[in-house]
A and B are shown apart, each in its own frame.
Chain A
């Protein structure tokens, strides 16, 4: 069990990263989230990083991994609240967040997830591979 709490709102999982994470904690979060997506049949994962003053390549890879795993499990991942200085540094670092959608805050993030889920569920929506 990791130390980062995972909350459930309807069919979404909400994670708020508040601490200066060391690597083991990040890996534990990855595992916990994947497990919970299956257990709770979650369709969306919202990761709030507004409290993070740093995102390095390890945490970046963690976010990419979470997005990749949730996509396999038919869930949408949205990262919200990235701070400007963190965004500038990530761009400079050269790390691309692939398969991760972003929003300014939790509200907009949930709306984004809602929109993506509904789009997928429409009868005329194309099936994703």
Chain B
């Protein structure tokens, strides 16, 4: 899908997490997302942004607003050069009982997205891409 607009921002502190939420909200509104759809993608963004700061040593977020005719979407790409995730399927499957664990954020963010992709190499970093369409 062609990219209509994009924005890059750092995700290195908890203030950045707040800024990331606000930026994603702004773009979701511009893309015509309903209130519920906005809330879902902003919440998903909050989860991954937090992971990026807390577990990935900080990284970047790229927000893309996509448009193909009447179809519109927002895609978020989080990149960090942190320690990476050794067992991705485990991280995704973790229940909500693991305090401080990453699983809460990853699995939840995936549930809130139409598209979700994660690549991680231990010692090299992690890339999480998630998207929502209307």
Contacts and interface: CB of A to CB of B under 8 A. Distances in A.
Query: Is there any pair of Cβ atoms, one from A and one from B, under 8 angstroms apart in the complex?
Result: yes
Interface of A: 20-24, 53-58, 61, 84-86, 88-89, 92-96
Interface in B1-58: 14-15, 17-18, 21-22, 25, 35-36, 38-40, 42-43, 46-47, 50
Interface of B: 14-15, 17-18, 21-22, 25, 35-36, 38-40, 42-43, 46-47, 50, 96, 99, 104-105, 107-108, 111-112
Contacts of A86: 39
Q: Taking chain B's interface residues, is the majority helix, strand, or loop, or is none over half, making it mixed?
A: helix
Contacts of A54: 21, 39, 42-43, 46
Contact of A92 (B15, B21, B99, B111): B111
B46 to A, nearest CB: 4
A84 B34 CA distance: 13
A119 to B, nearest CB: 29
B40 A92 contact: yes
A23 B46 CA distance: 11
B35 A85 contact: yes
B14 A22 contact: yes
A56 B46 CA distance: 7
14 contacts: A22-B14, A22-B17, A53-B42, A56-B105, A58-B50, A85-B35, A85-B36, A85-B38, A86-B39, A89-B39, A89-B40, A93-B43, A94-B96, A95-B108
